[in-house]
Amino acid sequence: MPATETPGSATGPDAAGIDPKLLEILVCPVTKQALTYDRMAQELVSEKAGLAFPIREGVPIMLVEEARRLDEDPAGVASQGSEGIAS
């Protein structure tokens, strides 16, 4: 997966300063399941909840009120044919 990683698949902070150890312990606040890191969109994605939580200045924002629904296009980003997202 070029733009998407599972937590813990890298060592050390990535370009945005996200610590892989942090990604390993973060879970979806709705489902309590693991999240998928989307490096291109700078989001943590919960497929089961249908939400994408933004990462701002290297800090994951894990508030449902701040999350983007997966059935919506990201604000200001052209649709790139997201894989695995149910309509």
Structure confidence by residue, pLDDT tens digits, 55-82: 999 899 999 999 999 998 665 444 444 4
Q: Which residues pair with 69 in a beta bridge?
A: 51
Q: Is the pLDDT of residue 49 over 70?
A: yes
| Torsion angle, alpha carbons of 36, 2, 18, 61, to 10 | -40
Most distant CA pair in the chain, distance: 35
- For the cut 80, the answer to whether the pLDDT of residue 14 exceeds it is no
In a domain, 23, yes or no: yes
Q: Would you state the pLDDT for residue 72?
A: 80
Domain that holds residue 41: 4-69
- Nearest CA to 4 out of 85, 61, 78 is that of 85
Number of domains into which the chain is organized: 1
Domain contains 77? no
Residue 74 domain-assigned (yes or no): no
Q: How far apart are CA 46 and CA 29, in angstroms?
A: 9
pTM of whole model > 0.75? no
